């Protein structure tokens, strides 16, 4: 099998080593010739990459070249696949997003509501520039984007690159939820076939089938209702906040047993409860800074200092394996069926065509082929439409520098709704992000 060249954009991410472990695990099905890391923060990336070199030398010597760089030409030229996992503003700005929303009594979350708006406003510009630059140096490469908020990023990039069939927006959350279903039922994650519709971080599983055709939906619902639900995916199983989120799936299902919800719906369906449990000085960003980030730094330092990864506590994870299987599917034309974020164009027949929806699709070398969903029920349709209005208005606002559109966006978002609150949040977000958003400060918009 022909070996491929992979570039990880956002090489300094706390996810990078987990992805490498997953690449090692998947080396037979997705063999690599080279791995390149790209980041704007060279020091942060250096730790991951120096540790990666040692790890790969020991466990994946077939990789001929491992380099890290802040030079786009070096990073992108010759790449077959790029994983995009950038975070403009870093975890520090994530913390600020969460705190601003909470300080106004609203949900403070990375990708939902006011936090999602702020993060989206920062991501859009960098993502557009990145895709442009990648296309300059690697016109034929597959760009697999996991940068958040994926819904807003997908909406923005599809406006600028409407014909780019090799730019795919994905999210691991449904897979991580399904991993818990599989563990609950005693079967394999990759044997489960989801039927699902929605927007990114805003959707529902309508059915879960086993690959052998058995419909497992009712069994899963019964298990969750009777026994509860927990996160079993190794990369979040030890995180109290994720366990709390998974536990809430039981409440969500009890309160509306129609479909199996995405975890992120908790923020939209129970915003008051989500705000009440938060500590503004210890939001999720702070937990990641004090937890996963420190832990990864220590692991890297140990590997670098000892010169071996033999004692490192590292495992592959579903997040990484999922990305790699998506890459394998498009590069080697496998047609694997995964959820993907695509332009609606009639897939959900009673929803506007230009919505970026998350639905099952088969992934081939000539592109992503989504399956028709048909009509969705009134409740979910109406929820999706208000959220879609928020997403589209955030993107409009970014292009136009329109403060008013941001206020309208938050007015539509179930985590805010109240106009005076929307105004206060927007002004705080713009003030905190002035350096990233000059278009909002040009005149009196």
Applying CB under 6 A, the residues found at the interface with ligand G6P are: 110, 148, 171-173, 284, 288
Tell me how crowded residue 19 is: count the other CB atoms within 10 A of its CB.
26
Rounded Cα–Cα distance for residues 405 and 387 (Å): 14
Instruction: Report how far apart the first and last C-alpha atoms of the chain are (Å, whole number).
Output: 55
- Binding partner of 288, given Mn ion, ligand G6P, none, CB within 5-8 angstroms per partner class: ligand G6P
Residue 149 beta carbon to ligand G6P: minimum distance, rounded to whole angstroms: 8
Contacts of 355 (CB under 8 A, 6+ apart): 199, 343, 344, 348, 384, 388
Structure tokens at 159: 């406006």
Interface segment toward Mn ion; rule CB under 5 A; list 7-15, 169-177, 333-341, 384-392: 169-177
Residue 4 beta carbon to ligand G6P: minimum distance, rounded to whole angstroms: 24
Confirm whether residue 284 is marked as ligand binding: yes
Cβ(216)–Cβ(189) below 8 Å: no
Q: Which of 85, 89, 95 shows the shortest CA–CA distance to 115?
A: 95
Is 336 considered catalytic here?
Answer: no
Is 265 one of the binding residues for Mn ion (CB under 5 A)?
Answer: no
# chain residues binding Mn ion, by CB under 5 A: 2
Residue 103 beta carbon to Mn ion: minimum distance, rounded to whole angstroms: 25
Burial class (CB in 10 A: 0-12, 13-18, 19+), 372: exposed
Rounded Cα–Cα distance for residues 355 and 339 (Å): 15
Residue 69 beta carbon to ligand G6P: minimum distance, rounded to whole angstroms: 25
Rounded Cα–Cα distance for residues 356 and 151 (Å): 7
Confirm whether residue 211 is marked as ligand binding: no
Catalytic residue among 60, 119, 264, 267: 264
- Binding partner of 327, given ligand G6P, Mn ion, none, CB within 5-8 angstroms per partner class: none
Confirm whether residue 201 is marked as ligand binding: yes
Nearer to ligand G6P, 150 or 384 (CB): 150
Confirm whether residue 207 is marked as ligand binding: no
Q: Which of 117, 134, 173, 356 binds Mn ion (CB under 5 A)?
A: 173
Tell me how crowded residue 133 is: count the other CB atoms within 10 A of its CB.
15
Contacts of 412 (CB under 8 A, 6+ apart): 386, 387, 389, 390, 393
Rounded to 10°, the helix 217-227/240-255 angle is 110
Is 163 considered catalytic here?
Answer: no
Beginning with the edge strand found earlier in the chain, give each strand of the sheet holding 202-210 in spatial order: 192-199, 202-210, 260-261
Residue 176 beta carbon to Mn ion: minimum distance, rounded to whole angstroms: 9
Catalytic residue among 39, 80, 97, 172: 172
Nearer to ligand G6P, 60 or 242 (CB): 242
Nearer to ligand G6P, 226 or 281 (CB): 281
Q: C-alpha angle with apex 37: 79 to 147, nearest 5 degrees?
A: 85
Nearer to ligand G6P, 274 or 426 (CB): 274
Nearer to ligand G6P, 155 or 172 (CB): 172
Nearer to ligand G6P, 93 or 173 (CB): 173
How many CA atoms lie less than 13 Å away from 61 in the CB half-sphere?
1
Q: Which of 171, 216, 331, 410 binds Mn ion (CB under 5 A)?
A: 171
Q: 168 in helix, strand or coil?
A: strand
Is 177 one of the binding residues for Mn ion (CB under 5 A)?
Answer: no
- As annotated, the binding site includes 94, 148, 171, 201, 284
Residues that bind Mn ion (CB under 5 A): 171, 173
Catalytic residue numbers read 172, 264
């Amino acid at each position: 099998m022909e070996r491929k060249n992979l570039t990880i954009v956002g090489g300094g991410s706390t996810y990078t080593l987990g992805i490498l472990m997953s690449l090692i695990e998947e080396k037979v099905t997705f063999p690599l010739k080279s791995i390149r890391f790209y980041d704007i923060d060279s020091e942060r990336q250096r730790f991951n990459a120096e540790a990666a070199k040692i790890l790969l030398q020991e466990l994946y010597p077939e990789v001929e070249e491992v380099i890290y760089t802040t030079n786009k030409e070096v990073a992108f030229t010759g790449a077959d696949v790029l994983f995009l996992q950038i975070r403009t503003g870093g975890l520090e700005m994530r913390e600020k997003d969460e705190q601003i929303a909470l300080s106004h009594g609203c949900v403070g979350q990375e990708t939902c509501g006011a936090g999602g708006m702020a993060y989206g406003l920062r991501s859009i510009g960098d993502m557009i520039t990145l895709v442009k630059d990648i296309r300059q140096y690697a016109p034929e490469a597959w760009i697999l984007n996991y940068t958040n908020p994926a819904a807003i990023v997908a909406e923005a990039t599809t406006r600028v690159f409407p014909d780019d069939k090799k730019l795919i927006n994905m999210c691991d959350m449904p897979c991580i939820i399904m991993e818990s279903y599989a563990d609950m039922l005693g079967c394999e994650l990759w044997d489960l076939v989801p039927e699902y519709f929605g927007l990114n971080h805003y959707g529902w599983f309508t059915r879960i089938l086993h690959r052998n055709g058995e419909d497992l939906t009712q069994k899963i619902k019964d298990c969750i209702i009777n026994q509860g639900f927990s996160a079993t995916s190794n990369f979040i199983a030890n995180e109290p906040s994720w366990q709390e989120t998974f536990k809430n799936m039981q409440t969500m299902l009890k309160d509306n047993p129609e479909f199996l919800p995405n975890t992120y719906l908790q923020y939209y369906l129970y915003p008051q409860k989500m705000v009440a449990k938060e500590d503004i000085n210890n939001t999720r960003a702070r937990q990641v800074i004090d937890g996963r980030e420190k832990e990864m730094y220590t692991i890297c330092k140990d590997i670098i200092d000892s010169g071996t990864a033999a004692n490192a506590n590292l495992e592959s994870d579903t997040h990484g394996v999922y990305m790699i299987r998506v890459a394998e599917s498009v590069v080697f034309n496998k047609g694997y069926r995964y959820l993907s974020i695509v332009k609606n164009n009639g897939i959900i027949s009673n929803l506007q065509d230009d919505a970026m929806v998350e639905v099952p699709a088969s992934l081939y070398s000539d592109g992503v082929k989504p399956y028709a969903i048909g009509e969705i029920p009134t409740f979910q349709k109406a929820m999706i439409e208000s959220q879609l209005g928020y997403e589209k208005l955030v993107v409009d606002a970014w292009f136009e520098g329109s403060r008013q559109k941001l206020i309208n966006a938050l007015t539509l978002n179930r985590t805010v709704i109240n106009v005076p609150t929307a105004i206060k949040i927007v002004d705080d977000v713009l003030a905190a992000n002035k350096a990233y958003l000059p278009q909002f400060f040009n005149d009196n918009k």
